[in-house]
Amino acid sequence: MKKNILAAVAVAAVIATPSVFAAAGDTESVSTGQLNRVEVKIGEDSYSVVNFKLVMVINKSTHELFKAGDVIALSCVGINNTVNKESNVDGNCIAKDSAGDTFATTFKRKGLLGQPGAGAQTVRGLTGKYAGMTGTCSYDAKYAQNDGVFIASFAKCSYK
């Protein structure tokens, strides 16, 4: 009898415990904002630090945590160094939705900031509904310059 009660309690606990990991799915989004860049040039080499805030809009989603039309704020920092004529863009963003739940993205690509290019991102859920979520993205960055440098990043992501 004790074994039956313990088994029933264990099953009830498993059923009542929400999954820490999000379900699988895909998203398409666009993120836009203005870049604030500090650059130092030494001969043909350059070293840049970039701070930027973006607004991400989910355009399409098959993932239960993201709905088309969701708006998410991102705070990002990046680097763009050109050394020996090779340029790379790398950085991190913290994304926060309207409920305050967060996830992080790490991005990287070859090329110069301010010039179009394709890259890759990794995503890691941090808090709230995103805790335990992981994903990978491909993105295309496009830029406009009008009293500053503005980015539009078009991303396709797959989550586990």
Whether 101 is in a domain gets the answer yes
Whether 3 is in a domain gets the answer no
Question: In total, how many domains does the chain have?
Answer: 1
Range of the domain at 111: 21-159
Query: Which DSSP string corresponds to 12-35?
Result: HHHHHSPPSSPPPEEEEEEEEEEE
pLDDT at res. 23: 74
Question: What is the CATH number for 55?
Answer: 2.40.350
pLDDT at res. 89: 95
pLDDT at res. 150: 95
Burial grade of 27 (CB within 10 A; 0-12, 13-18, 19 or more): buried
Whether 11 is in a domain gets the answer no
Residue 51 burial (CB count, 10 A): 13
Can you read off the two tokens belonging to residue 109?
Answer: 């690509």
Nearest CA among 148, 73, 85 for reference residue 112: 85
pLDDT at res. 19: 43
Query: Which DSSP string corresponds to 72-109?
Result: EEEEEEEEEEEETTEEEEEEEEEEE-TT--EEEEEEEE
Whether 13 is in a domain gets the answer no
Whether 63 is in a domain gets the answer yes
DSSP letter assigned to residue 77: E
Q: Give 136-156 pLDDT, tens digit per residue.
A: 999 999 999 988 899 999 999
3-state SS assignment for residue 98 = coil
pLDDT at res. 4: 45
pLDDT at res. 14: 35
pLDDT at res. 62: 96
Whether 15 is in a domain gets the answer no
Whether 32 is in a domain gets the answer yes
pLDDT at res. 104: 98
Extract the residue ranges of the chain whose pLDDT is less than 50. Answer: 2-20
pLDDT at res. 160: 83
Prediction pTM value: 0.82
Question: What element of type H or E holds 55?
Answer: strand 45-61
Can you read off the two tokens belonging to residue 66?
Answer: 């993201």
